Structures are given as structure tokens and as C-alpha cells.
Amino acid sequence: MKSITVKAPGRINLIGEHIDYNHGFVLPAAINKSAIVSISKRSDQQIHLTAIDILDELIIESFSDLVIQEKKWANYIIGVIAQFQKKHSFEVGFNLAITSDVPIGAGLSSSAAIECAVAYGLNELFELGIDKMELAFMAQKAEHEFAGVQCGIMDQFASIFGKSDQVVLLDCASMEFEYFPLILTDYQIVLFDTGVKHALANSEYNTRKFECEKGLQLIQQQHPHIKSFREVSITMLEACIDKIKNANIYKRCKYVIEEIHRTMEATKNLKQNDLTSFGEKMFATHEGLSLLYEVSCPELDILVNAVKDNTNVLGARMMGGGFGGCTINIIKQTEIQQVVHEMSTIYKAQTGQDLKHYEVQIVSGAQVCS
């Protein structure tokens, strides 16, 4: 029976956090940690799913049984199959086995990696001819409908469209994008993993999205021509303060407006190899995420504060949805070992936990392995 093996990576995001669903710009890249799926057709209508890493299995009797399961891992896969079912009917079932080395809950998009590997693999195996952008949107829909997170498009986009050694500036309103090389000369990206994922993460994520939508609607009452936060300045926001009575909504809007602007400036810095200015903006983003957007947590703040005055670290901030996961840092190559050592000591002393770190490489997006 014909079978196919596909891998899809996790991602980092240089800057532009919580901005994708606010129709601004983001700057992600795919990393050398991936989900790998192997899929082969069956002769009946059953779907057999195997999670290799946790030795678990699930058999779905037919395509009419694609519903949310108690086994969480299965939902990322079934969610994607359900999207295919809406448009294309499969003539036969399949066996699908999955393994992944994207750390779970680390803010590196382990779920998007699974969704994209499944979407890419099914499209190839059944020769459906769906284009890559459509696959990314289908994977995102799976997250909305089967994982309950109203995520933006950044993670799935990066997992499918990543390019080796390049970052990609994505306009989340038009979905136009531009690659450019990430040149860090004698610096390197290092991620520090808090090792925590707070239970709040998913519900608070959805709340932030709602708060931003509400905030934009209130601004639109004063400025009906405005389509997104991209067209809103801080002065315009201040002028709407009587309408936006809720302090949280005001803070969320302020962060989004500032981060959209900061991301554009930071992208210029990066293109001009001005890593010092870029790094300063990373710290500013963290402050916004922590104080205005309120998606950080004590562990993330400890990690960012610990490198703030370290001259070997140009910039650091929490990355991804927040409430745990990783910080992204730009560290002088020759000093990485020393910084890791210092950070591990600080983290252990302040939280009692061991600190993991990852030195990631930037790789290409989803692809067929065999």
C-alpha cells in the first residue's frame, strides 16, 4: 500500500507577538524541531491513529465519527481530517502514525506542527492539489474547532512556508509575505524554556482576542473608516478614552498599536543589521506583553529580567501565546555557555526548577521526506 512520510516544523517568532489576529505584521521562522507523520491508505473506511511518543492509539470507525475526543493529541489530527471532509471526500480510510520533537507547551507551536504535517501529508497522499496557503488555513481551523483556541494564522503559516536561514515578514491582513535572511553575525538565537504552561493559557488567549475586537469596535464608533489597529495611532486611542471605559481593553489596544509599529521598525533594524536596536525592541515588546497585554508570568519575567543588564545579550522577550513556554534571546555566540550557566543558577534559585535551553536553527517548512 502506498505510504508517505511528511515533516512539519515548529516556529520561533522574532517580533510581532499577539499581532497576527490583530491584522498586523509578524516575523516568524520555522525551526529544526518537527512533527513527522507517516500515512498509508487502507482498504476500508477506518482511520487508525498512533501517537508513537506516548504509545497510544485511537481507531475511528468511519469518516462520520470525526468528533472531539478525550485523547487530546488526537484532536489536532482529527480536527484537520474534519476540514478535509468539508470539501473533499476520502474514498478510503488510512493509518496515520505521528512522532514529534517539538517540546509541548514551550510556545514553539507543537500543535501547529502536528496539524500542518497531517494537512500536508493527506494532501500529498490523496493527491488533492490543495495549495499551501489553503492548507495553513485548514490547519488553523482545526485548532479553532477541535482545540478550542481562536489562534491567528502565524504558527500554521510558518510551519508550512518556512525557508531555511530566512525569516518571513507576514502581513496578516493581506497574507502577502516577504523572506529575508537572518544575519546575526557573531550572535545567535537561544531559547530558554520556563518548563511551565499555566492552565489559563487557552482561555486567556481567547479573552485577549475578544478584548481586542471589542476595543477596535469602540474606536470604529469614532472612526468608522478604520479597518484594523494598523490605522490607529496612540493619539486616536487616547481620544477614544471616554468610549473605552474598561481599563483592560484600553491596555490591550495600546499594546497592539505599539507592537504593530515596533515590528515594522524592528524589521528595518534587522534588515540593516542593527541588532542592538532590534534587541532593545525585544525588551520593549516583553514589557508590553507583561504590563499591558498581561500574558506573561513570573517565570518568564524572571528569565527576561535576568538578562536585561547582561552585555552579551542584545535582546530577550517571552515568545508565543504566553503564560509559560520560552523566552527568545539574542546572545553573543562565544558567551552562550556562560550565559546559560548564569541563567540556570538564577532560575534554580528563584523557582526551584531546572532550566532547559534550545539553540535552534532556521529550516524549511513542511515537506515530504519519503
Give the bridge partners for 187, in sequence order. Answer: 332
Q: What binding mask, one character per residue, do residues 312-351 give for ligand GLA by CB under 6 A, x or -? A: --------xx------------------------------
Where does this chain touch ligand GLA (CB under 6 A) — which range of 18-26, 91-99, 162-170, 248-256? 18-26
**Nearer CB in complex with ligand GLA: 27/363:** 27
Where does this chain touch ligand GLA (CB under 6 A) — which range of 12-20, 54-62, 334-342, 355-363? 12-20
**Nearer CB in complex with ligand GLA: 18/141:** 18
A 10 A CB-CB count for 234 gives: 12
Close Cβ partners of 272 (under 8 Å, ≥ 6 residues apart): none
Q: Does 151 bind ligand GLA (CB under 6 A)?
A: yes
Close Cβ partners of 96 (under 8 Å, ≥ 6 residues apart): 37, 38, 39, 47, 48, 49, 50, 77, 118, 121
Report how many residues bind ligand GLA under the rule CB under 6 A.
11
131 is catalytic: no
9, 363 contact by CB (below 8 A)? yes
Measured distance CA(137)–CA(157) in Å, rounded: 8
Q: Does 35 bind ligand GLA (CB under 6 A)?
A: no
Q: Does 18 bind ligand GLA (CB under 6 A)?
A: yes
- The helix/strand/coil state of 1 is coil
**Nearer CB in complex with ligand GLA: 18/286:** 18
Q: Does 288 bind ligand GLA (CB under 6 A)?
A: no
Q: Does 115 bind ligand GLA (CB under 6 A)?
A: no
Give residue 80's identity as a one-letter amino acid code.
V
- Minimum CB separation of residue 244 from ligand GLA in Å reads 22
- Minimum CB separation of residue 21 from ligand GLA in Å reads 6
Measured distance CA(294)–CA(243) in Å, rounded: 22
- Minimum CB separation of residue 49 from ligand GLA in Å reads 22
Measured distance CA(7)–CA(160) in Å, rounded: 10
Burial class (CB in 10 A: 0-12, 13-18, 19+), 161: buried
Query: Which residues form the catalytic set?
Result: 155
Contact footprint for ligand GLA (CB under 6 A):
17-18, 20-21, 109, 151-152, 154-155, 320-321
